[in-house]
Structure 1
Amino acid sequence: MFRSLLSLIFAAALFVSVPNSGYAQSACPSHGDPEVTLSGIISDPSGALLRDAQVTLTCGNLAVSATTDATGAYTVQLPAGTYSLAVVSKGFTTKQQTFQVLPNRANQQDLVLNVAQENSTVEVRAGAQGYAVSENSEATRTDTSIRDIPQAVYVIPEQVLQDQQVIRLADAVRNVSGVTIAEDAGGRQERVTLRGFVTDTTFQDGFRNASNANATFPDFANVERVDILKGPSSTVFGRLDPGGVVNLVTKQPLSEHYYSATMQGGSYQLLRPTIDASGPLTANKSLLYRFIASGQDSQSFRDFNFTRRLFLSPTLTWTPSPSTSLRLYTEFLGGSNLNDRGLIAIGTRPANLPVSRYLADPNLVYPYRQGKAGLSFDQALGRGWTFRSYERSSTGWDNYNARVANALSKDMQMVTLNDLRSDQYFQAHYWINEVTGTVKTGPIQHTLLAGAELDYEIYDTNTTRQASGTPAETLNIYYPNYAALPPRDLMESTINQTRDGYGGGYLQDQITLTPKLKVTGGLRYDLAKLKTVGYFASPSSSSRDTAWSPRVGLVYDPVQAFSFYATYNKSFQPESGTQANGTPFVPEYGRLLETGFKFDTLSHRVTGTAAVYQIDLTNVITADPNNPGFSIQLGQQRSRGMEFNALTHLTHQWDLISGYALTNATIHKDNTYLVDSQLQSVPRHTGNLWTRYTQSQGRLSGASIGAGVSGVSNMQGQLITQAAPNTFYLVPGWGRVDAGISYEPPKEAGWRYRFALNANNLLDRRYFSGASGRFAVYPGSPRDIIASFQLIR
Structure 2
Amino acid sequence: MKLAPLLSNICIATSTLIIVAQPAWAEIAQVTDVRLNPTDKGLEIILETADGNTPRVFPVSYKETFVVNITNTQLRLPSSQDFRANNPAPGIAAVTVTQQTANSVRVTVVGTAGVPKAEVGRSDHALVLSLTAPADTTAQKPQPTPIVPQAEQPESQTQPPAETEQPVESTEGEEIEIVVTGEQEEGYSVPDASTATRTDTPLREIPANVQVIPREVLEDQQAIRLQDALRNVSGVNFSSSFGNRFSFFNARGFTLAQLRNGFRDDFNASRAAAELANIERIEVLKGPASVLYGQVEPGGIINLVTKRPLPDPYYAADFTIGSYSFYRPTLDFSGPLTTDGTLAYRLNVAYENAGSFRDFVDSERIFVAPTLSWQLGPNTTLTLEGTYLHDERPLDLGLVAIGDRPADLPFSRSLFGPQRPGLEFDEKQGFIYLEHRFNEDLSLRSAFRVTSSFEGRDAIIAADEVQSDDRTLPLRISDFDQYYDTYTLQNDLIGKFQTGSVDHTVLFGVELARLTGRFPEGANAYGAEIDIFNPVYEFSFDPLEFSSGGYSETNSIGIYLQDQITLLDNLKLLIGGRFDSADSEETFIDSGTTTSEASAFSPRLGIVYQPISPVSLYANYSRSFVPQVGRSADNTPFDPERGTQYEVGVKADLLDGRLSTTLAAYQITKSNVLTTDPTNPEFSIQVGEQRSRGIELDVVGEILPGWNIIASYAYTDAKITEDYTYEVGNRLNNVPENTASLWTTYTIQSGSLAGLGFGAGAFFVDNRAGDLDNSFELPDYTRVDAAIYYTRDNFKAALNIKNLFDIRYFEGGDSRTTIVPGVPLTILGTVSLEF
TM-score, with length taken from structure 1: 0.86
Matched-pair contact (CA < 8 Å) for 2:36–2:157 = no
Matching of residue 208 in structure 1 with residue 208 in structure 2: no
Matched-pair contact (CA < 8 Å) for 2:126–2:162 = no
Going from structure 1 to structure 2, the CA distance change for 1:316 and 1:104 (only over 3 Å counts) comes to same
SS at match of 1:160: helix
Matching of residue 791 in structure 1 with residue 799 in structure 2: no
Equivalent of 2:789 in 739, 742, 762: 742
Query: Distance in 1 between the 2:145 and 2:655 partners?
Result: 30
Query: Distance in 2 between the 1:717 and 1:100 partners?
Result: 74
Q: Deviations over 1:38-90 (max 9, x none)?
A: 59999999x9x9999985588345369988999999764259999xxxxxxxx
Matching of residue 310 in structure 1 with residue 366 in structure 2: yes
What percentage of aligned pairs have identical amino acids? Answer: 37
SS at match of 1:103: helix
In the TM superposition, residue 711 of structure 1 has moved relative to its aligned partner by 1.4
Which letter maps to 2:294? G
Going from structure 1 to structure 2, the CA distance change for 1:781 and 1:31 (only over 3 Å counts) comes to farther
Equivalent of 1:452 in 510, 534, 546: 510
Once the two structures are superposed, the pairs formed by residues 323-722 of structure 1 within 5 Å of their partners are: 323-364=379-420, 365-405=422-462, 406-466=464-524, 472-482=527-537, 484-486=538-540, 489-536=543-590, 538-720=591-773
In the TM superposition, residue 487 of structure 1 has moved relative to its aligned partner by 5.8
In the TM superposition, residue 465 of structure 1 has moved relative to its aligned partner by 3.3
SS at match of 2:792: coil
In the TM superposition, residue 522 of structure 1 has moved relative to its aligned partner by 0.4
Which letter maps to 1:778? V
Once the two structures are superposed, the pairs formed by residues 90-129 of structure 1 within 5 Å of their partners are: 102-106=156-160, 129=186
Query: Distance in 2 between the 1:43 and 1:578 partners?
Result: 64
Matched-pair contact (CA < 8 Å) for 1:43–1:50 = no
Matched-pair contact (CA < 8 Å) for 2:446–2:492 = yes
Matching of residue 731 in structure 1 with residue 794 in structure 2: no
Matched-pair contact (CA < 8 Å) for 2:517–2:552 = yes
Which letter maps to 2:189? A
SS at match of 2:494: strand
Going from structure 1 to structure 2, the CA distance change for 1:76 and 1:507 (only over 3 Å counts) comes to farther
Going from structure 1 to structure 2, the CA distance change for 1:781 and 1:706 (only over 3 Å counts) comes to same
Equivalent of 1:139 in 185, 191, 196: 196
In the TM superposition, residue 361 of structure 1 has moved relative to its aligned partner by 3.0
Which letter maps to 2:458? N
Equivalent of 2:44 in 36, 39, 43: 36
SS at match of 1:236: helix
Query: Distance in 2 between the 1:550 and 1:69 partners?
Result: 42
Which letter maps to 2:528? E
Matched-pair contact (CA < 8 Å) for 2:36–2:43 = no
Matched-pair contact (CA < 8 Å) for 1:124–1:134 = no
Matched-pair contact (CA < 8 Å) for 1:30–1:62 = no
Find the counterpart in structure 1 of residue 303 from structure 2. Answer: 247
Find the counterpart in structure 2 of residue 10 from structure 1. Answer: none
Going from structure 1 to structure 2, the CA distance change for 1:621 and 1:758 (only over 3 Å counts) comes to same
Find the counterpart in structure 2 of residue 280 from structure 1. Answer: 336
Going from structure 1 to structure 2, the CA distance change for 1:28 and 1:604 (only over 3 Å counts) comes to farther
Matched-pair contact (CA < 8 Å) for 2:52–2:125 = no
SS at match of 2:304: strand
Going from structure 1 to structure 2, the CA distance change for 1:349 and 1:174 (only over 3 Å counts) comes to same
Equivalent residue pairs, number: 723
Once the two structures are superposed, the pairs formed by residues 758-769 of structure 1 within 5 Å of their partners are: 758-769=800-811
Query: Distance in 2 between the 1:238 and 1:430 partners?
Result: 13
Query: Distance in 1 between the 2:339 and 2:503 partners?
Result: 40
Query: Distance in 2 between the 1:488 and 1:623 partners?
Result: 32
Query: Distance in 2 between the 1:578 and 1:276 partners?
Result: 50
SS at match of 2:490: strand
Query: Distance in 2 between the 1:323 and 1:677 partners?
Result: 56
Q: Deviations over 1:528-576 (max 9, x none)?
A: 011111221x342111211101100000000112110000011101122
Q: Deviations over 1:661-720 (max 9, x none)?
A: 000110011110110110011111100001100111011111111000001110000112
Query: Distance in 2 between the 1:637 and 1:211 partners?
Result: 23
Unaligned stretches of 5+ residues in structure 1: 1-25, 83-98, 111-122, 721-726, 747-751
In the TM superposition, residue 124 of structure 1 has moved relative to its aligned partner by 8.2
Going from structure 1 to structure 2, the CA distance change for 1:757 and 1:590 (only over 3 Å counts) comes to same
In the TM superposition, residue 501 of structure 1 has moved relative to its aligned partner by 0.3
Query: Distance in 2 between the 1:616 and 1:69 partners?
Result: 51
Q: Deviations over 1:212-251 (max 9, x none)?
A: 2112101111111110000001111111010001011111
Query: Distance in 2 between the 1:488 and 1:318 partners?
Result: 59
Segment of structure 1 superposing worse, 663-672 or 206-215: 206-215
SS at match of 1:637: strand
Matched-pair contact (CA < 8 Å) for 1:124–1:130 = no
Matched-pair contact (CA < 8 Å) for 2:801–2:826 = yes
In the TM superposition, residue 652 of structure 1 has moved relative to its aligned partner by 1.2
Segment of structure 1 superposing worse, 646-655 or 61-70: 61-70
Going from structure 1 to structure 2, the CA distance change for 1:100 and 1:317 (only over 3 Å counts) comes to farther
Equivalent of 1:774 in 816, 819, 822: 816
Matched-pair contact (CA < 8 Å) for 2:667–2:694 = yes
Find the counterpart in structure 2 of residue 15 from structure 1. Answer: none
SS at match of 1:159: helix
Going from structure 1 to structure 2, the CA distance change for 1:462 and 1:657 (only over 3 Å counts) comes to same
Which letter maps to 1:377? L
Query: Distance in 2 between the 1:589 and 1:109 partners?
Result: 56
Query: Distance in 2 between the 1:51 and 1:448 partners?
Result: 26
Segment of structure 1 superposing worse, 596-605 or 556-565: 596-605
Equivalent of 1:179 in 206, 217, 236: 236
Query: Distance in 1 between the 2:354 and 2:202 partners?
Result: 41
Find the counterpart in structure 2 of residue 5 from structure 1. Answer: none
SS at match of 2:227: helix
SS at match of 1:408: coil
SS at match of 1:673: coil
Q: Deviations over 1:180-199 (max 9, x none)?
A: 11111011210011111134
Going from structure 1 to structure 2, the CA distance change for 1:39 and 1:125 (only over 3 Å counts) comes to closer
Find the counterpart in structure 2 of residue 86 from structure 1. Answer: none
How large is the Cα RMSD of the aligned pairs? 3.3
Query: Distance in 1 between the 2:612 and 2:810 partners?
Result: 44
Larger Rg: 2
Which letter maps to 1:766? R
Which letter maps to 1:632? I
Q: Deviations over 1:300-352 (max 9, x none)?
A: 00111011010001110000212010000100000200101110010111000
Matched-pair contact (CA < 8 Å) for 1:498–1:532 = yes
